[in-house]
């Protein structure tokens, strides 16, 4: 969620501390800050807080708790008329109260559409949104401020019957179509929740996702119907996914904001519209078919908090954390009973309260405690048995590889493969082994001596009709290869690895050289002469032959050349070999 620091500041009298302090406050007590650039911050709101924190009020409220700053003008704490309003001029028909949990609508006449005042344009643009006109901006502002998605329809495009407009909320019929505000036409999956002009039976919006073109606010609009509703999270999530149309509204609805919020949204947006676009509120209707049950209290004891976090918080500290969070708390002895405010619908079990206390007081206060000895002896037999087979193979010259589990063919098929050429789960390791061995043979001069050939193995899971199992694959038969068996007493060999040395992606060139040594030379000296004259492209030097005849010694070496940033040519390697040959000849070597 992109947040403006100036916007947050509106909730505080005292100036907010520096950007670094604010970033640290969020990072260590609530959310990561993905990016911070001047006034703008990208706050990574966690999924459990997306119901109350995808808005400036929610983020500011958490900051107030973290920094213990006085929070002013909380829009969700000021009293509100929160009843079942009806209006003779605006009706709402909800087909399924489990899908539309609440619908607050208002009819406003005589508004003047125009550009937004400067403060509003700046506020909207500061968080990367586009200013459209005063009415649309007002609905977006309220959403960005308190988290309630809103929408405004042009009432003059709707059909009036018996001096009343009727908003319908119903599932889409088979192959019903809608053109959205962006001009895109969608053929809707049956049942997609729609907002309709009930009197004309015309869809005017995809509920909780996007408004329709039919009742778009234009410069000619004078009368509007404003919507502040709450839709079932799953219904909205499925619609946005099916239509591939994730929006600011659908993102919020799928995170289950409280239906209580809808009334606050309507109150704020009507006030703002009248302030910046004039008009008269003709009627407000509030249909609340599944009014939430009373908010459940959650209790937790001081002992439980300290016993889960491994801390020694005092009763006063815990009480203070709840006070900073503005949570209505009763304290009875050492038990805290919290009635969460309606927007904090993430607080449901004692552990949720423990997390609140832990993060506000700080996880840096959790001390490091060693685990007591375990009650039972650890069982690592299966793992050790597998590693024993690996060690056997390594002793026999095999190198372990690891390959991908997806294959061209197999018994079990992926429903949504990433690589369409490999849609199956591997039923064997042998295909990958063949491929890996071919490549290993090609690259062998880079990693193996000339008289060594690559031998590979893989131990990995294969998937067949009979289920999955661990398979052992080797690039050639291995006499005496043991089967995998549990073995608690086997100690797998431990290795020390050096820092990783990247390999070049360019081709390499190999050259062999055989020579008779002068009487005063030996193998080591010969190596150094070759190295000194080979230059930076020599990446490997292996001696692969040595014999003595009539008192003279013959050596043979393989040289591998490769560059990290280009393809070497035969000609340049020939020049290097010529230089080596000349240097050796000068030292009385006889190059054959």
Partner 1 sequence: MHEGRLHPISVAIREIADIFGRMGFSVVQGPELETEHYNFDALNIPADHPSRDMWDTFWVKTKEGEERKLMRTHTSPMQIRWLEKHGAPTRIIVPGKVFRNEATDMTHEAQFYQLEGLAVDTNITLGHLKGILERFCKEYFGSEAKVRLRPSFFPFTEPSVEVDVWFSAQNKWLEVMGAGMVHPKVLENAGIDATKYQGFAFGLGIERFVMIKYGIPDIRLFHSGDIRFVYGFDEKKI
Restricting to residues 198-257, name those near partner 1 by CB under 8 A.
Answer: 233-234, 237-238, 254-255
Give the per-residue SS3 of 157-215.
Answer: HCCCECCEEEEEEEECCCCCEEEECCCCEEECCCCCEEEEECCCCEEEEECCCEEECCC
Which C-beta is closer to partner 1: that of 398 or that of 561?
398
CB of 273 to partner 1, least distance (A): 31
- The size of the interface with partner 1 (CB under 8 A), counted in residues, is 105
Residue 120 Cα distances to 53, 54, 270, 381, angstroms: 21, 19, 15, 66
What would the two tokens of residue 545 be? 């032959």
Is 456 a binding residue for partner 1 by CB under 8 A? The answer is yes
Pick one of 144, 401, 530, 580: the residue that binds partner 1 (CB under 8 A).
401
Q: Positive or negative CA dihedral for 366, 370, 374, 379?
A: positive
Residues of span 262-301 touching partner 1 by CB under 8 A: none
Residues of span 459-478 touching partner 1 by CB under 8 A: 460-461, 463, 468
Is 118 a binding residue for partner 1 by CB under 8 A? The answer is no
Pick one of 412, 539, 556, 568: the residue that binds partner 1 (CB under 8 A).
412
- Give the whole-angstrom CA distance, residue 283 versus residue 348: 37
CB of 358 to partner 1, least distance (A): 5
Residues of span 368-397 touching partner 1 by CB under 8 A: 368-371, 373-380, 382-384, 387, 390, 393-397
User: Mask 321-340, x = binds partner 1 (CB under 8 A)?
Assistant: --------------------
Which among 439, 397, 448 is positioned nearest to 558, based on CA atoms? 448
- Give the whole-angstrom CA distance, residue 366 versus residue 155: 58
Which C-beta is closer to partner 1: that of 173 or that of 359?
359
Look up tokens 């609905």; give the residue. Answer: 139
Which C-beta is closer to partner 1: that of 142 or that of 311?
311
Is 311 a binding residue for partner 1 by CB under 8 A? The answer is yes
Look up tokens 């291995």; give the residue. Answer: 478
Is 349 a binding residue for partner 1 by CB under 8 A? The answer is yes
For the chain, the residue count is: 592
Is 421 a binding residue for partner 1 by CB under 8 A? The answer is no
Is 414 a binding residue for partner 1 by CB under 8 A? The answer is yes
- Give the whole-angstrom CA distance, residue 192 versus residue 185: 14
- Give the whole-angstrom CA distance, residue 176 versus residue 239: 14
Residues of span 548-577 touching partner 1 by CB under 8 A: none
Which C-beta is closer to partner 1: that of 303 or that of 331?
303
Residues of span 478-517 touching partner 1 by CB under 8 A: 492-503
Which C-beta is closer to partner 1: that of 40 or that of 238?
238
Residues of span 352-371 touching partner 1 by CB under 8 A: 352, 354-355, 358-359, 363-364, 366-371
Pick one of 86, 271, 303, 449: the residue that binds partner 1 (CB under 8 A).
449
| 336 burial level (CB within 10 Å; 0-12, 13-18, 19+) | buried
CB of 114 to partner 1, least distance (A): 37
Which C-beta is closer to partner 1: that of 73 or that of 234?
234
> For residue 404, how many other CB atoms are within 10 A of its CB?
10
- Give the whole-angstrom CA distance, residue 193 versus residue 91: 18
CB of 529 to partner 1, least distance (A): 25
Is 14 a binding residue for partner 1 by CB under 8 A? The answer is no
Residues of span 130-189 touching partner 1 by CB under 8 A: none
What would the two tokens of residue 588 be? 């009385």
- Interacting stretch for partner 1, rule CB under 8 A, among 139-147, 290-298, 414-422, 572-580? 414-422
Q: Residue 490 in contact with residue 389, Cβ under 8 Å?
A: no
Q: Strand pairing of 2-4 and 40-44? A: antiparallel
CB of 238 to partner 1, least distance (A): 7
- Give the whole-angstrom CA distance, residue 391 versus residue 385: 10
Look up tokens 């069982």; give the residue. Answer: 379
Residues of span 56-115 touching partner 1 by CB under 8 A: none
- Give the whole-angstrom CA distance, residue 58 versus residue 18: 20
Pick one of 88, 117, 128, 310: the residue that binds partner 1 (CB under 8 A).
310
The residues near 541 (Cβ < 8 Å, ≥ 6 apart) are 527, 530, 531, 534, 557, 558, 559, 560
Pick one of 132, 308, 319, 568: the residue that binds partner 1 (CB under 8 A).
308
CB of 370 to partner 1, least distance (A): 5
CB of 385 to partner 1, least distance (A): 11
Residues of span 24-53 touching partner 1 by CB under 8 A: 27-32, 46-50
Which among 205, 204, 246, 40 is positioned nearest to 125, based on CA atoms? 40
What would the two tokens of residue 497 be? 């690895």
CB of 61 to partner 1, least distance (A): 15
């Amino acid at each position: 969620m992109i947040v403006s620091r100036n916007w947050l500041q509106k909730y505080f009298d005292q100036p907010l501390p520096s950007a670094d302090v604010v970033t640290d406050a969020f990072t260590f007590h609530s959310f990561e800050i993905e990016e911070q650039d001047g006034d703008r911050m990208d706050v990574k709101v966690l999924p459990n807080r997306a119901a109350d924190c995808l808005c400036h009020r929610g983020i500011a409220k958490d900051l107030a708790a973290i920094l213990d700053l006085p929070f002013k003008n909380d829009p969700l704490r000021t009293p509100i008329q929160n009843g079942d309003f009806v209006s003779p001029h605006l009706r709402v028909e909800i087909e399924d109260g489990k899908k539309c949990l609440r619908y607050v609508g208002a009819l406003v006449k005589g508004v003047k559409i125009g550009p937004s005042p400067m403060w509003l344009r700046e506020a909207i643009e500061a968080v990367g949104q586009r200013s459209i006109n005063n009415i649309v901006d007002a609905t977006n502002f309220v959403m960005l401020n308190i988290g309630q998605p809103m929408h405004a329809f042009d009432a003059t495009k709707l059909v009036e019957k018996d001096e009343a407009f009727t908003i319908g909320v119903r599932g889409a019929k088979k192959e019903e179509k809608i053109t959205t505000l962006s001009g895109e036409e969608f053929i809707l999956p049956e049942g997609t929740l729609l907002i309709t002009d009930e009197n004309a039976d015309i869809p005017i919006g995809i509920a909780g996702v996007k408004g329709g073109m039919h009742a778009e606010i234009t410069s000619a609009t004078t009368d509007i119907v404003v919507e502040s509703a709450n839709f079932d999270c799953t219904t909205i999530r499925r619609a946005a996914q099916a239509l591939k149309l994730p929006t600011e509204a659908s993102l919020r609805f799928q995170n289950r904001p409280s239906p209580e919020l809808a009334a606050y949204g309507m109150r704020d947006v009507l006030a703002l519209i009248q302030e910046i676009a004039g008009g008269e509120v003709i009627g407000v209707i509030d249909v609340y078919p599944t009014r939430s049950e009373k908010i459940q209290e959650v209790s937790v004891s001081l002992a439980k908090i300290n016993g889960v976090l491994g801390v020694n918080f005092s009763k006063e500290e815990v009480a203070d954390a709840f006070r900073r969070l503005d949570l209505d708390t009763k304290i009875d002895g050492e038990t805290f009973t919290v009635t969460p405010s309606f927007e904090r619908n993430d607080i449901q079990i004692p552990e949720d309260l423990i997390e609140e206390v832990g993060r506000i007081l700080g996880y840096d206060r959790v001390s490091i405690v060693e685990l007591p000895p375990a009650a039972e002896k650890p069982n690592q037999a299966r793992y050790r048995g597998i590693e024993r087979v690996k060690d056997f193979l390594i002793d026999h010259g095999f190198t372990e590889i690891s390959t991908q589990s997806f294959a061209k063919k197999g018994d079990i098929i992926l429903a949504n493969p990433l690589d369409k050429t490999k849609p199956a789960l591997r039923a064997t390791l042998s295909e990958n082994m063949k491929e890996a061995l071919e490549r290993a043979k090609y690259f062998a001069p880079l990693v193996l001596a000339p008289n060594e050939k690559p031998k590979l193995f893989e131990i990995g899971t294969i998937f067949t009709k009979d289920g999955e199992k661990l398979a052992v694959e080797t690039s050639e038969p291995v006499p005496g290869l043991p089967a995998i068996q549990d073995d608690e007493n086997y100690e797998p060999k431990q290795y020390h690895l050096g820092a990783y040395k990247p390999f070049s992606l360019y081709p390499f060139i190999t050259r062999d050289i055989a020579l008779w040594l002068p009487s005063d030379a030996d193998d080591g000296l010969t190596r150094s002469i070759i190295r000194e004259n080979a230059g930076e492209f020599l990446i490997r030097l292996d001696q692969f032959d040595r014999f003595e005849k009539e008192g003279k010694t013959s050596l043979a070496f393989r040289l591998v050349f490769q560059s990290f940033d280009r393809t070497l040519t035969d000609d340049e390697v020939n020049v290097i070999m010529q230089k080596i040959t000349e240097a050796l000849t000068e030292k009385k070597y006889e190059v054959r």
